[in-house]
Amino acid sequence: MPKTRETMGTLFIVPTPVGNLEDVTARALRVLREADLIVAEDTRTTGILLRHFDIQGHLQAHHKYNEHETVKALVARLLAGETVALTSDAGTPGISDPGFLLAREAIKAGVEVVALPGATAFVPALVSSGLPCDRFCFEGFLPPKKGRQSRLEALRGEQRTMVFYESPRRVVRTLEELAQVFGQDRPVSVAREISKVHEECVRGTLEEVLLHFQEEEPRGEFVIVVGGLPKQRDKNKQE
């Protein structure tokens, strides 16, 4: 008997809080409670969330180091009628986190994929930056080595607001490189520890914000929001 949507399961992509556990939605909690399987980037991290809300669920690890080995079996479970909830450590799976591969393969197999709205780090960082957010480009993490400079050079003339993720150990280096490519006077907003106790947003020029984090040790996870090239300026004249 051929599989139909009625006999298949559903893959739910479930955002989890980036900081404050109160940010989780009632719908996300219901899906996690009802799922046959919860697929987690880190079962320990997701386990903390589940215990906090007294959710009993079967957990399986699915991360960038094993996703190519686990995806086939997960799709098979979905085709067999199971409901699978996909989570990352924080935020929305697939946004600089594992999730794309499983979603793609489930769709190829004809499985219904439902993405729940919810927490993600770059949206609050963008809308609180004071920079234009009607049009923007999300760049995620820059390549750590190969291709890093060429990626920045390709963005030199970008007129939309740009959004980057960065770790505390590389944020100063990244701000230095952004200043070199875009100019020290380019406006920037750097948010860290979004939705957590020590949440902070530092705004100014790249020169000013770089100086701040050279003097204050960077801590936590960072979102860097950089203003685009003003339209009235000729990008060829920018140094």
Order of all β-strands in the sheet with 136-141: 136-141, 161-166, 222-226, 187-192, 200-205
Q: Please write the tens of the pLDDT for every residue from 48-80.
A: 999 999 999 899 999 989 989 999 999 999 999
C-alpha separations of 41 from 149, 150, 162, 207 in Å: 29, 30, 27, 36
Q: Please write the tens of the pLDDT for every residue from 138-153.
A: 999 999 889 999 999 9
Residue 4 above 60 pLDDT?
no
In angstroms, rounded to a whole number, what is the distance separating the alpha carbons of residues 36 and 46? 15
With cut-offs at 50, 70 and 90, classify the pLDDT of residue 231: confident
In angstroms, rounded to a whole number, what is the distance separating the alpha carbons of residues 39 and 14? 10
